[in-house]
Amino acid sequence: MALTTAKHDAPEYSVRQIEVPASALSRLEPLIGVERYRALRTAAAQASRLLEGSTVWNVSSTAAGGGVAEMLQILVGYTLDANIDIRWLVMSGDPEFFAITKRIHNRLHGAAGDTGRLSANEKAHYENVTAANAGSMMSRVGRGDVVLLHDPQTAGMSAPLAEAGARVIWRCHIGREDENEWTEEAWSFLRPHLAPCDAYVFSLREYVPSWMDESKVRVIPPSIDPFSPKNQEMSAENVTLTLGRIGLLPGSGNGSPGLFTRGNGVSGRVERPAAILSEGGSPLRPEVPLVVQVSRWDRLKDMAGVMRGFAAGVPGRIGAHLALVGPSVADVADDPEGAQVYAECAAIWEDLPVEARRLVTLVTLPMEDIDENAAMVNAIQRHATVIVQKSLVEGFGLTVAEGMWKAKAVVASSIGGITAQIVPGTGILLEDSSDLTFFGATLVELLARPGEISALGARARQHVLESYVGDQHLVLFAQLIASLSR
């Protein structure tokens, strides 16, 4: 038999479209009041006029798991209702590409991440993958369209899209207040790809690199949607049913499913179980206060530190459970470190003294159905007494706004976007999030004061209503579109 050398073509990377149902802007009016609603309608009408005949394209690297995907679901839905042709595309890449982009992500946050390099080979691979993705959009993108590229993964698509006549905006959802050798390396990698952009959007002014053309920069903080499956109101009964169904509360598995309303208005049911690492059966008890951190399995979220601080400081001092909750590690394609970080947390859990291990649960939530996943997070956050976000670095931290909206006491690191969200009296900021003893003591002190928990929660909800509900986000975007149209 003759052996032939197979000739492999380079893999074709392309974008795929995510379907998002329209959400009625009018739903916001009773919450935000007449004035804000009028401003929203005016901005929406102006943007719709300016964009007549054009399409707004969003390109991100994943459809699920993380703040960008969470926000796009909402913004795209509301923008559709404003009579604007807006689409959401998700790019593709191979594991090497996502290892490179995760490296850039970590380094923009000022951390090395892995030991890999960002040199000529990485540059070439990044450029090949992003060029292929941009190429797959060419037949669809027209002159005058607006393309919003989200985060470092997509920045390499800017040049071909700008050449095709699109107005290109790069939105950076991550960052760090001060520069160091890692941020400089990541910015040097990205900088040539950002030159063709018409505008840059950051969540915080402090994240804007010093070399960037200030006239092209806008600061637009993220937002939450009170009506999404993640944040919609949920009855206590539904919370209990949902937690029972996913296996966190007794009565698990066979009970009635929890109910929620999907983004498209259709009723949904929480059916799937979560994967739970705990000592014995259903790990939570309805009467025992729950401390929760919900995050991707990313070292910078410091799930391990939350576990260590809780285990060393809380058991024996006050009754409480801890749940560390994240997405199923198989399912977040653009986050190659997830499985490893989860495994590290599981190993730490195994090593805890048994009396602490009984009080700590690791939960990974199925991601097959994004609305169902969101409803699970919603139920867990609502069941919690205290919500933690003890990140080492944090771009914005939507989980903080989500917890605050649910009138929870939030204990979070005093860094990045978290400091913009927790203002005095609306939550507890940890000045030094690496001080685990202080973290444990803070939880004990707070859990002992239910009155303080309620007061913080009530003020937190009000603050989110004033500052982080989607209407202001949409108005700022409409203003950006208007400025690009001049």
User: Using CB under 6 A as the criterion, which residues of the chain lie in contact with ligand UDP when the complex forms?
Assistant: 66-67, 70, 230, 294, 296, 325-327, 365, 373-374, 377, 395-399, 402
- Structure tokens that stand for 146 in this block: 């607006």
What minimum distance in Å lies between the beta carbon of 419 and ligand UDP? Answer: 14
Q: Which residue is nearest to ligand UDP (CB)?
A: 67
CB of residue 383 vs ligand UDP: minimum separation in angstroms?
Answer: 14
- Closest CB to ligand UDP among residues 141, 307: 307
Half-sphere exposure of 61 (CA within 13 A, CB side): 30
Nearest approach in angstroms of CB 204 to ligand UDP is: 12
Q: Given the complex with ligand UDP, which of 185 and 402 has the nearer CB atom?
A: 402
- To the nearest whole angstrom, how small is the minimum distance from the Cβ of residue 305 to ligand UDP? 16
Looking at the Cβ atoms of 174 and 453, the one nearer to ligand UDP is 174
Identity of the residue, 15 or 388, whose beta carbon is nearer to ligand UDP in the bound complex? 388
Sign of CA dihedral 265, 271, 272, 278: positive
| Closest to ligand UDP by CB, 18 or 377 | 377
Q: For 244-283, give the secondary structure using H, E and C.
A: HHHCCCCCCCCCCCEEEECCCCCEEEECCCCEEECCCCCC
- The least distance separating ligand UDP from the CB of residue 370, rounded to whole angstroms, comes to 8
Secondary structure element (H or E) that encloses residue 472, with its range: helix 470-484
Distance between CA atoms of 276 and 161, rounded to whole angstroms? 44
Residue 58 near residue 137 (C-beta atoms within 8 A): no
Instruction: Give the distance from CA 147 to its chain's centroid.
Output: 20
Nearer to ligand UDP, 118 or 370 (CB): 370
Residue ranges in 279-337 assigned as alpha helix (H): 303-313
Q: Among residues 313 and 403, whose Cβ is nearest to ligand UDP?
A: 403
Task: Count the Cβ atoms, other than its own, within 10 Å of residue 140.
Answer: 14
What is the rounded CA–CA span in Å between residue 300 and residue 433? 11
CA distance 199 to 245: 46
C-beta neighbour count of 187 within 10 angstroms? 19
Identify the DSSP state of 11.
Answer: P
SS (H, E, C) 92-139: CCCHHHHHHHHHHHHHHCCCCCCCCCCCHHHHHHHHHHHHHHHHHHCC
Q: Whole-number minimum distance, CB 293 to ligand UDP, in Å?
A: 10
Shortest gap between Cβ of 149 and ligand UDP (angstroms)? 16
Min separation Cβ 39 and ligand UDP, Å = 25
By C-beta, is 70 or 302 nearer to ligand UDP? 70
Q: Between residues 70 and 471, which has the closer beta carbon with respect to ligand UDP? A: 70
Q: How many helices (H) and strands (E) does the chain have?
A: 17, 16
CB of residue 28 vs ligand UDP: minimum separation in angstroms? Answer: 19
**Looking at beta carbons only, is 91 or 325 nearer to ligand UDP?**
325
| Alpha carbon distance 197, 170 (integer Å) | 7
